[in-house]
Chains A and B, each alone.
Chain A
C-alpha cells in the first residue's frame, strides 16, 4: 500500500484528494492535511459579504465527507517537508502542526510516497502597513471577503454603513486591491457591484460615493492582461466593457495604484506615473496580496533546501520555465504542464500553490521602481482541472510504476469559464458571464489577441446571475461527493 498526502482542502486539494481516493480505492491510502474544519465555496463569499447568504450556506464540514470517501483527514497545517527523509529514515515525510480543537500546536510527522501541495495562498495582509494587524491577520482598518468569516464581518460593517446613510450621513466606499502585487481583482470587482446593488435596494445609493482602487494598468485586466471579445461584429477589449459598467453604475476608478499604507479611514498609494496620493474612506475592502504559506524543506542531513523546492514568493516550483527573462521573451510554453517538482519526482503542486513562471499581464513599475501589476489568477476552474490532472498522474504513478505517463493541464491550453456577480436577485440580479480560451494568451497560436475569439466571450445580464447561483449549488453538491459528483466538470 502506498500513501498520497494532499496538503490543502480547497478547490485544487479537494479535487485531487477525492478523485485520487475514488480511483485508488482501498488499495492505497489518501491523506488530506488542511487547517480548516470546513470546506468553503469561496466565490459565494461575495454574497455573504453583502448579507445575502449565511456562512452556513457557503461552507460544510469536511470530516464526514472525507470519512465517506475513505480519506484520512488531519485538521492541521503543514510546516515542513523532508523529501529525502532524515538521519533516521529514508522515507519522505511532512511535518504537520494540528489546528484541531484540543490538539492545537501538537506536531506529528506523516510519511508519504507522493505528495501534492495544494495549500492555496497565505493572505499576506502584513505586506501593506495597516492592512494587516502585524501578526499575519487582517487589521481593523478594512474588511475582506477572502474567507467566510471575513465575509460575515464585512456584511456586519456594511449594515452599519447603510444605517448611517439612512440616518443622513454620506459614506465613502473604497474597494479594490491592497497592494501593487495583488491578484483576485475579480472578487473585488464582484464585491463593489454587489454593494452598489444592495445600496440601491436599501434606497441609499445617492448617499454613497464609490471608488475602485486597483493595481491593474487598465480596467478589465483581471490579472490576465485583459481579454478581447466579439461583440456586435467588433472584436473589443474587456477595458471598454469594464469602464462602461463602472460609468453606468457611477463608480469612479483609480488604477495602476500600489496601496502603500492603510490608516483608519485613509489609504496612501503610489501610481504608475510615480505620483503619491491619499484616498479617504468610511468603508474599505482591499484584497491582500498572496504568498506561499511558508512551508520549509529540509534535506536528509537537515540542510535547508527551501530555496530548491520553493520560489522566493513561497510557491512550489514545478515544470515551468522560470528563466524566460524579459517580457518580450515570454511564451505560452513557459507555463507548467504536469506540475511535478523538478527536483523531487514524487512531489506535485496544484492550484494557487504552484509557482507561475511569470505574470500574465504586461509587467509595469513606477519610476520609483515599485512594481505595480496584477499577479496571475490560478483559482476556480483552472485549479480544479489542474487538481484532477495531478490526481490522475499520481494515481498512474502509484498503480503503474514510476515511468507512468504524466497527465497535462497547461493554463496556456485550457480555457476558463468565469461568472462575476454584479448584484444578487432572482429577477433583479446581474452577472458578467465570461469565458477565455486559453487562460494564458498564446500569441504564437493566436496572433493579435493571444486568444481564440470564437471561444472568448462575455456578457452581462440576469442569465449570468442564474448561472452563478446554479454553480453555487452544483459545486457544493459535487464537493460533498453526492451521487453523480464525478459527472459535474471542474
Chain B
C-alpha cells in the first residue's frame, strides 16, 4: 500500500475524492518548481488586480 493512498479507506467521503500522490506533494514544496509557480501566480494575480481597479 502506498502511504498517500491510506486515507482513502478512512471514510466514505475520502474514498470518493482525489488525493495527491507523492510526486504531486513533493512538487508543492520543491523550491525550484515553486519559484517558477511564484512568478506565474504573481503574474496571474497582477492581471486580475489590474482588471479589478
Instruction: Please report A residues at the B interface, Cβ cutoff 8 Å.
Output: 240, 243-244, 246-248, 250, 252-253, 381, 385, 388, 414-417, 427-428, 430, 433, 435, 437, 455, 457, 459-464, 466-467, 489-490
Selected contact of A461 from candidates B34, B42, B47, B48, CB within 8 Å: B34
- In the bound complex, residues from chain A placing their C-beta under 8 Å from that of B38 are 463, 466-467
Those 10 A-B pairs whose CB atoms lie nearest each other, nearest first: A463-B38, A247-B14, A414-B52, A243-B17, A462-B34, A463-B37, A415-B48, A461-B28, A435-B48, A463-B34
- In the bound complex, residues from chain A placing their C-beta under 8 Å from that of B31 are 427, 462
Cα–Cα, bound, A433→B42 (Å):
10
**Residue contact A381 to B52, C-beta cutoff 8 Å:** yes
Cα–Cα, bound, A417→B48 (Å):
7
Closest B residue, CB atoms, query A430: B28
Selected contact of B13 from candidates A243, A415, A433, CB within 8 Å: A243
Which of A250, A415, A459 counts the most chain B CB atoms within 10 A?
A: A415
8 more contacts with CB within 8 A, not counting A248-B4, A437-B51, A464-B41, are A246-B14, A247-B7, A247-B14, A385-B53, A459-B37, A462-B31, A463-B37, A467-B45
Chain A interface SS verdict (over half): mixed
**Residue contact B17 to A250, C-beta cutoff 8 Å:** no
Which of A388, A457, A463 counts the most chain B CB atoms within 10 A?
A: A463
**Residue contact A252 to B41, C-beta cutoff 8 Å:** no
Known: A243-B13, A248-B20. A490 touches B7 (CB 8 A): no
The A-contacting residues of B in range 1-36, CB under 8 angstroms, are 4, 7-8, 10-11, 13-14, 16-20, 25, 27-31, 34-35
Closest Cβ of chain B to A120, distance in Å, is 21
Closest Cβ of chain B to A351, distance in Å, is 15
**Residue contact B51 to A455, C-beta cutoff 8 Å:** yes
Known: A462-B34, A467-B38. A415 touches B28 (CB 8 A): no
Cα–Cα, bound, A417→B44 (Å):
9
- In the bound complex, residues from chain B placing their C-beta under 8 Å from that of A489 are 49, 53
- In the bound complex, residues from chain B placing their C-beta under 8 Å from that of A437 are 48, 51-52
Known: A248-B20, A250-B10. A462 touches B28 (CB 8 A): yes
Cα–Cα, bound, A250→B14 (Å):
8
Closest A residue, CB atoms, query B36: A463
- In the bound complex, residues from chain A placing their C-beta under 8 Å from that of B11 are 247, 252
**Residue contact A244 to B18, C-beta cutoff 8 Å:** yes
**Residue contact A428 to B42, C-beta cutoff 8 Å:** no
- In the bound complex, residues from chain B placing their C-beta under 8 Å from that of A416 are 48, 52
**Residue contact A461 to B19, C-beta cutoff 8 Å:** no
> Can you show 26 pairs from A to B with CB atoms below 8 A apart?
A240-B18, A243-B16, A244-B18, A244-B20, A246-B17, A247-B13, A248-B25, A250-B10, A250-B14, A253-B13, A415-B48, A415-B49, A416-B48, A416-B52, A417-B49, A427-B31, A430-B29, A433-B45, A435-B48, A455-B47, A462-B29, A462-B30, A463-B34, A463-B37, A466-B34, A467-B41
Closest Cβ of chain A to B25, distance in Å, is 8
Closest Cβ of chain A to B43, distance in Å, is 11
- In the bound complex, residues from chain B placing their C-beta under 8 Å from that of A457 are 44
**Residue contact B28 to A460, C-beta cutoff 8 Å:** yes
Cα–Cα, bound, A463→B41 (Å):
8
Closest B residue, CB atoms, query A460: B28
**Residue contact B52 to A248, C-beta cutoff 8 Å:** no
Cα–Cα, bound, A290→B49 (Å):
27
**Residue contact A433 to B41, C-beta cutoff 8 Å:** yes
Closest Cβ of chain A to B18, distance in Å, is 5
Cα–Cα, bound, A490→B53 (Å):
9
Which of A248, A437, A455 counts the most chain B CB atoms within 10 A?
A: A248
Which of A253, A455, A461 counts the most chain B CB atoms within 10 A?
A: A461
Closest B residue, CB atoms, query A417: B45
Closest B residue, CB atoms, query A422: B28
Known: A248-B20, A414-B52, A417-B48. A461 touches B29 (CB 8 A): yes
Cα–Cα, bound, A238→B14 (Å):
16
Closest Cβ of chain A to B19, distance in Å, is 5
Closest Cβ of chain B to A142, distance in Å, is 24
**Residue contact A455 to B48, C-beta cutoff 8 Å:** yes
- In the bound complex, residues from chain A placing their C-beta under 8 Å from that of B19 are 244, 247-248
Known: A244-B20, A457-B44. A385 touches B52 (CB 8 A): yes
Cα–Cα, bound, A388→B14 (Å):
43
Closest Cβ of chain A to B44, distance in Å, is 6
Cα–Cα, bound, A321→B48 (Å):
26
Closest Cβ of chain B to A333, distance in Å, is 18
Cα–Cα, bound, A466→B45 (Å):
14
- In the bound complex, residues from chain A placing their C-beta under 8 Å from that of B28 are 430, 460-462
